[in-house]
A and B are shown apart, each in its own frame.
Chain A
Amino acid sequence: MTKTVMVGKTALCGVLCLALVGGAHAWEPQRNVEFVVPYSAGGGSDINARMLVEAIRETGMVNRNILINNRPGGSGAVGNSYTYSKRGDGHTITTFNGGQMMSMVVNDASVQLDDLTPLATLSLDTLFVGVRAESDIENLDDLIERAEQDPGGITVGGAGRGGEDHLAFAMLDDNLGVDFQYVPFDGTGDVTSALLGGHIDAAIFKLGSRVDQSMVRFLATYSEERLDAPFDEVPTFDELGYEGLELMIFRGYAGPPDMPEEAVEFWEDVFRAAAETDKWTQEYVENNGLIPTFMGAEESAEYYQREQERYRALFQEAGMID
């Protein structure tokens, strides 16, 4: 008899507790949350997701486990399709970044931006064009002058074809009024090796790849405004008098199509709180040299839409897509 009462009391307690915690939100995860990473373990998106999970844990806002699920393949298409298959589920979230959206555009993938529900954007990356530190190319004008003397003979390396670096190159080629030659490499490491070894003349680098300025001289940045130290000496293209050379690569998150509105609100709040933790701002954003930002679900959706149209136009101009 006493036992039953005890059990009853405990159960009541539990219900009350749940009600108290859940009071803030109309929606709460009822089971473990799946965090899809459409790239392999150890890559940029994977580290991003794992750090975010740590930051979310610090906020204490999600009382269930968040499990990372790496679904690499198809330049993100396999993971995106997986997320898409969870239509209407509030327990599936995925990393969503600029490069991922570019490959959707370039590869004409079956799952597009419209098929996912943007949730939030927490950080931005941008790019540079740089030369070897010992190079006699001192500034952007020197590089343009070289290209004028040898049209199409100045080689610019970057990571991959149809990705962020290639897009940045296409902007360079379109807007500076001279022709360059793009040389794609497998990763930023290979680009740096080739540049330092003098095999290519210039290269595109991401801010987040943290290339050392003692080895590479950055001529200009694709950011909208001047960056913070240690990159505060690098001029933007705009300052140098070249317009239309701005490119910020977003790092955001999305859910499956038709995610319940309450779930979208819940995740938006969780991401906002996680973005304010020390874990996130210092250990992730600062250590990776990224630019902190916060855009909610609606703002992100609009931003991604705009960026998608811009990517499409740029890749069309570069002849990468029809």
Chain B
Amino acid sequence: MDILQSLMQGFATSLTFSNILAALVGAGLGIIVGAIPGLGSVTGIALLLPLTFQMDPITGIIMLGALYYGCMYGGSYSAILLNIPGDAPAVVTSLDGYPLSQQGHGGKALFTANISSFIGGTVGIIMLTFMGPILAHVGLMFGPAEVAALILLALCSIGWLLGDNPLKGLISTFIGVMLATIGIGTAFGQPRFTFDSMYLLNGISFIPLVIGMFGFSQVLVMMVNRVDPSAKGLSGRLGLKESLLDRKEALSILPVSLRSGVLGNLVGILPGAGATTGSFLSYVLEKKVGRNGDELGKGRIQGVAASEAGNNAAAAGSFAPLLSLGIPGSGTAAVLLGGLMMWGLQPGPLLFQNNPDFVWGLISSMYLGNVMAVLAALAIIPFLVKLLLIPASIMIPVIAVVCVVGSYSVNNSMFDVWFMLGAGVVAFFMTAARYPIAPLLLAFVLTPRLETSLRQALDISRGDPMIFLRSPIAATLLTLILLFVLYPLAKRLFMTVRRRGHKAAAE
């Protein structure tokens, strides 16, 4: 009950008029920053941080926390409506979100994204509240070997996303793996495939790649197909009423969001695993255990729910190591850590003892930020869905401009803009030849983490691969991978044997 009491005290600190106002402003800004492709929570928090130094630390952190949450909500909007994921986790959201909006259910997809973000985020915060320090210590058990095995599991499960043609999916995955090897790897410190260009020295930036492959290739598709979204007869179905979920739909996403929330939160706590792995593994879990798992990827609200709940819960999870150990679990948490030091707070195990007001104020502000973000988001859905009614002749140039500005703004570099345009053209032809794009991007995000962890594990063991089998966690994960890879083969073998058996019996 100690925790509940502290939490109540936290609410007493955080629930003042100015703090609620700060949360609302933060959430609103976050939704805007998150919805703009190219701007993410890291940039948003970095830009707002200096302004908050004038404020009371608690008000400041509440505003930043709400901005972080708002970003998570906003990131899914462009993924669903325009097929331009604002950040890496939103790639998974677009898998079902964009088909839904093409089918005229954009409103429902947005609504699902918000509600499941809320549920997933809340699950994550509740776990953080009651088990934060314990979870942070569990996270420490994941060293390089364990993280490598986990990422390998995620990479192998891309196989479930491959769509109609597994071979094309695999080819797409490997293109992603190869693109990820460009630049100086942490593992060896040597530049690879950079062709002596300083722009490639730190590797390809994810945002220009994703904007090009999804957004700009979309522009090309729209120009070639001359599809006019407004002519699809959707206009009658895009009000607020049509965006709300009915009872059955609402009930169907609840278990999905809860499951994904728990899983996403656990992944978020692990060092270096990140929100993308969280939302992706949640999606895979749903595909495996969900009732309509096989239909995921064709435009199912359950897919949107799994991804969004997973990434919001992972975001909450990344705060556990920050607050209880002073170790940032994500890029955003790292910027926040900088903020804590500016306020003169020393993050670490003693933060709970020395500054209980601040810690519990922060945790309670997450509940507050989450509520504010869902309210602000729900208020703008009816306006957002109207975007789908804009005629293609206006929409195409607007998306093209967003693509150019978005890719320029990441590094203030024209190189990224050219790269984005090139990636868009490549993706356009890949799509035309029915090569799926999502596996490429997910492989691109996951590969560097796999390489780094693998190399670290082998550095530690002095090249002995047995390190993966000696660790019980890594061994379990590797066994899972083996089972997943062998299962379809075994199933096919079993079916053939049985069919032969039937034939033999019939004869």
Contact = CB atoms under 8 A, between A and B. Distances in A.
Interface of A: 40-42, 44, 46-47, 50-51, 54, 69-75, 77-78, 81, 106-107, 109-110, 152-153, 155, 160-162, 166, 181-187, 189-190, 192-194, 196-200, 210-212, 214-215, 283, 287-288, 320
Given A41-B42, A186-B186, A194-B271, A212 B346 contact: yes
Given A74-B201, A200-B460, 9 more contacts: A71-B412, A72-B202, A73-B198, A77-B201, A183-B459, A184-B186, A193-B321, A199-B460, A215-B326
A204 B202 CA distance: 23
Interface string B316-348: 000001000111110100110110011110111
Complex A-B, nearest 8 residue pairs according to Cβ-Cβ distance, in ascending order: A199-B143, A42-B46, A161-B189, A212-B348, A197-B140, A74-B198, A193-B271, A74-B201
Nearest to A47: B338
Contacts of B17: none
Contacts of B144: 183, 194, 199
Contact of B325 (A196, A283, A288, A320): A196
Contact of B462 (A70, A166, A181, A190): A181
Contact of B411 (A75, A78, A181, A193): A78
Interface string B38-54: 00001101110110010
Interface string B145-188: 10000000000000000000000000000000000000010111
B201 A41 contact: no
A42 B45 contact: yes
Nearest to A81: B198
Contacts of B484: none
Given A189-B334, A215-B349, A283-B342, A73 B272 contact: no
A47 B45 CA distance: 12
Interface in B344-372: 344, 346-350
Contact of A214 (B49, B331, B341, B348): B348
B139 interface: yes
B413 interface: yes
Given A161-B186, A184-B189, A107 B201 contact: yes
A54 to B, nearest CB: 7
Contacts of B328: 187, 189
A70 B47 CA distance: 12
B191 interface: yes
Nearest to B471: A199
A183 to B, nearest CB: 5
B43 A42 contact: yes
B198 A78 contact: yes
Nearest to B328: A189
Contacts of A78: 198-199, 411, 413
B341 A210 contact: yes
A151 B187 CA distance: 22
A155 B459 contact: yes
5 contacts: A161-B186, A187-B328, A212-B347, A212-B349, A215-B349
A182 B432 CA distance: 47
A71 B413 contact: yes
B349 A214 contact: yes
A18 B459 CA distance: 62
A190 B198 contact: no
Central interface residue in A42, A69, A198, by most chain B CB within 10 Å: A42
B198 A110 contact: yes
Given A78-B411, A110-B198, A212 B326 contact: yes
B223 interface: no
B452 interface: yes
Contacts of B411: 40, 70-73, 78
B142 interface: yes
B334 A187 contact: yes
Contacts of B201: 73-75, 77, 107
Contacts of B139: 193
A184 B271 CA distance: 14
Nearest to A279: B53
Question: Could you say which of B140, B145, B187 has the most chain A C-beta atoms within 10 Å of its C-beta?
Answer: B140
Interface in B187-224: 187-189, 191, 198-199, 201-202
Contacts of B344: 287
A197 B141 contact: yes
B476 interface: no
B252 interface: no
Nearest to B348: A212
B142 A197 contact: yes
B43 A41 contact: yes
Contacts of B335: 42
B456 interface: yes
A287 B191 CA distance: 36
B460 A181 contact: yes
Given A75-B184, A186-B272, A215 B412 contact: no
Contact of B189 (A47, A162, A215): A162
Given A41-B42, A194-B143, A161 B188 contact: yes
Contacts of A186: 186, 272, 452
B67 to A, nearest CB: 13
Given A192-B327, A193-B327, A197-B140, A54 B189 contact: no
Nearest to A184: B186
B198 A185 contact: no
Given A155-B460, A183-B459, A70 B412 contact: yes
Nearest to B345: A287
Contacts of A75: 184, 201-202
Given A73-B413, A190-B272, A181 B459 contact: yes
A169 to B, nearest CB: 12
A199 B272 CA distance: 14
A81 B415 CA distance: 14
Contacts of B202: 72-75
Interface in B409-428: 411-413
Interface in B39-73: 42-43, 45-47, 49-50, 53
Given A71-B412, A181-B459, A190-B272, A160 B186 contact: yes
